[in-house]
Amino acid sequence: MKFCSACGHPVTRRIPDGDTLPRAVCDACNTIHYVNPKVIVGCVPEWEDGRVLMCRRDIEPRRGKWTFPAGFLEIGETSGEGAARETREESMAEVEMGEVFCVFNVPRIHQVYLLHRARLLRPDFGPTPESSEVCLMREDEIPWDEIAFPTVWHGLRYFFADRAAGRPGFRSMDI
């Protein structure tokens, strides 16, 4: 960042008073510009028969690989609202959002993931500009070697382990 987004004047990279890290600070209006991690929200939508909704990505990164619905949280959304929106955008499906069951910290790419359990309301879904294929899969049908991201792989493993144990769990992992 070279210029202040509040007033347009140049910024200087320095440690502001009372802080511990260098930040972009405006020399004119003293606005401190923080750079924080992005929050990714997603869900594992489950249908009545135990199958889960999976989407084959039709966008980069990892085009052609499989994922559950997930994406960037927008300003003004709760994590559940964002995960439901992402589900509609990626699969045209409607879900009832459940609790967060997993948090992943991915500091090397500046992201934090919040994953929810969800119930698929109707078996109505389909491809979108973001997903070339959308389908329900049993655990043994998941193409584990074609999963888009480590967060998706671990999230699915945790989801199915909790279901097998017959009780919801909560997990946190640094990737």
Please give the DSSP secondary-structure letter assigned to residue 127. Answer: -
Domain 1-35 has CATH 1.20.1560.10: no
Q: What is the pLDDT along the chain (175 residues), one digit of tens a residue?
A: 999 999 999 999 999 999 999 999 999 999 999 999 999 999 999 999 999 999 999 999 999 999 999 999 999 999 999 999 999 999 999 999 999 999 999 999 999 999 999 999 999 999 999 999 999 999 999 999 999 999 999 999 999 999 999 999 999 999 9
Which residues does 171 contact at the CB level (< 8 Å), separation at least 6? 101, 102, 103, 158
Q: Are 53 and 136 in contact (CB under 8 A)?
A: yes
Domain ranges of the chain: 1-35, 38-174
Write down the pTM of the prediction: 0.92
Domain 38-174, what fold? Answer: Nucleoside Triphosphate Pyrophosphohydrolase (3.90.79)
